[in-house]
């Protein structure tokens, strides 16, 4: 008899607990239904953008040097083009100590050239061979002399001169620190005005610009340095790196 009573009690307790569990599930379902379409509660925050600027002097110059020639045959055009470009490469390495890794061929093409008659008929005139080098110059004092040497050798495609900071990350770090400092100061001032306290940083994002300066030229004589005996004096100027930091603070 006693075992039967114990079993009956156990079953009763089990059914009671089951009923309670089902009631809780039903209540949670009702609560969840009441919150459908309602977004989670968001903490109040303030978003501030700071700006940091750092000026640096470029330490690398990039120059594009090339030669284009037209001859009756491809072989003739290639021969003259190769002679000019090899002379320039040899001078860059020996006279200006430009490392081989800083000299790169960026363009080489051969193109047939035609003459057109009045009746629309084309006649093969010859072949154009063109080659361009991209040269990175690390000795800034040699830039103007390289330009003059290119003119003396007879290269006829010289341009795309630009100045860069070889490793701008250190300057960007300085600009970033200034931007964050300004953002913090602006957020602190605003929180004092509206009478709230700043909490932790919720999010952070940044963007940056590193302006390329326009090269400045000055000629020693009235003629250009393209084989005319005058050397173009080139000034690199300066680069301004700007970082914009947007910081979102929690408001307590």
| Domain stop point among 140, 164, 188 | 164
pLDDT in tens, 153-189: 999 999 889 998 888 888 999 999 999 999 999 999 9
* Segments of 138-238 assigned E as strands: 157-164, 198-210, 216-219, 232-235
| Domain stop point among 132, 148, 164 | 164
Per-residue pLDDT for 222 more than 50? no
pLDDT score, position 13 = 52
- 47 and 172 inside one domain: yes
- 54 and 112 inside one domain: no
**Residue indicated by tokens 């860059």:** 92
- 174 and 235 inside one domain: yes
- 126 and 188 inside one domain: no
Mean pLDDT over 60-68 rounds to: 95
* Residue 240 CB contacts under 8 Å (≥ 6 apart), including other chains: 53, 54, 55, 210, 211
**Residue indicated by tokens 């925050």:** 45
- 205 and 239 inside one domain: yes
Q: Would you call 235 exposed, middle or buried from its count of C-beta atoms within 10 A (0-12, 13-18, 19+)?
A: middle
Give the domain extent around 198: 42-58+167-252
Structural domain total, the chain: 2
Please give the Cα distance from 123 to 90 (Å, whole number). Answer: 38
Please give the order of strands across the beta sheet that includes 45-56: 45-56, 239-251, 198-210
CATH number at residue 243: 3.30.110.170
Per-residue pLDDT band for 223 (boundaries 50, 70, 90) equals very low
Per-residue pLDDT band for 141 (boundaries 50, 70, 90) equals confident
pLDDT score, position 214 = 47
Mean pLDDT over 88-99 rounds to: 96
More confident residue, 236 or 217: 236
- 200 and 127 inside one domain: no
More confident residue, 146 or 25: 146
Per-residue pLDDT band for 9 (boundaries 50, 70, 90) equals low
Q: Is 141 helix (H, G, I), strand (E, B) or coil?
A: helix
Question: Which among 207, 93, 85 has a CA at the least distance from the CA of 157?
Answer: 85
Per-residue pLDDT for 144 more than 80? yes
The listed range with the strongest mean pLDDT (117-121, 208-212, 216-220) is: 117-121
CATH number at residue 150: 3.30.70.2970
pLDDT score, position 11 = 59
| Domain stop point among 108, 132, 164 | 164
Please give the Cα distance from 207 to 244 (Å, whole number). Answer: 5
Per-residue pLDDT for 61 more than 70? yes
Mean pLDDT over 109-126 rounds to: 92
Per-residue pLDDT for 225 more than 80? no
Q: Say if residues 56 and 168 touch (Cβ distance below 8 Å).
A: yes
Per-residue pLDDT band for 208 (boundaries 50, 70, 90) equals confident
- 152 and 222 inside one domain: no
Per-residue pLDDT band for 221 (boundaries 50, 70, 90) equals very low
Please give the Cα distance from 171 to 54 (Å, whole number). Answer: 6
Q: Say if residues 67 and 157 touch (Cβ distance below 8 Å).
A: yes
**Residue indicated by tokens 């309602």:** 38
Residue 13: in which H helix or E strand, if any? helix 2-34
Whether 29 is covered by a domain: the verdict is no
- 50 and 172 inside one domain: yes
Please give the Cα distance from 149 to 227 (Å, whole number). Answer: 8
- 115 and 149 inside one domain: yes
pLDDT score, position 239 = 85
Q: Say if residues 160 and 212 touch (Cβ distance below 8 Å).
A: no
């Amino acid at each position: 008899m006693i075992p039967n009573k114990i079993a009956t009690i156990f079953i009763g307790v089990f059914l009671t607990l089951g009923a309670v569990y089902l009631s809780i599930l039903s209540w949670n379902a009702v609560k969840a239904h009441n919150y459908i379409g309602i977004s989670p509660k968001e903490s109040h925050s303030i978003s501030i953008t700071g700006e940091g600027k750092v000026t640096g002097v470029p330490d690398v110059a990039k120059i594009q040097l090339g030669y284009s020639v037209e001859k009756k045959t491809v072989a003739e055009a290639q021969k003259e083009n190769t002679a000019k470009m090899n002379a320039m490469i040899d001078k860059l390495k020996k006279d200006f100590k430009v490392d081989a890794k800083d000299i790169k061929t960026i363009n080489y093409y051969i193109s047939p050239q035609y003459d057109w008659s009045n009746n629309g008929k084309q006649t093969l005139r010859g072949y154009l061979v063109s080659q361009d080098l991209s040269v990175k110059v690390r000795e800034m004092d040699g830039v103007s002399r390289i330009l003059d040497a290119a003119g003396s050798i007879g290269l006829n495609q010289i341009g795309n001169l630009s100045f860069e900071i070889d490793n701008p990350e250190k300057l960007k770090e300085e600009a970033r620190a200034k931007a964050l400092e300004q953002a913090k100061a602006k957020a602190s001032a605003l929180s004092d005005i509206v009478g709230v306290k700043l909490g932790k940083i919720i999010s952070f994002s940044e963007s940056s610009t590193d302006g390329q300066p326009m090269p400045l030229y000055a000629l020693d004589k009235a003629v250009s340095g393209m084989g005319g005996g005058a050397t173009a004096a080139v000034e690199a100027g300066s680069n301004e790196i700007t970082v914009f930091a947007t910081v979102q603070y929690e408001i307590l």
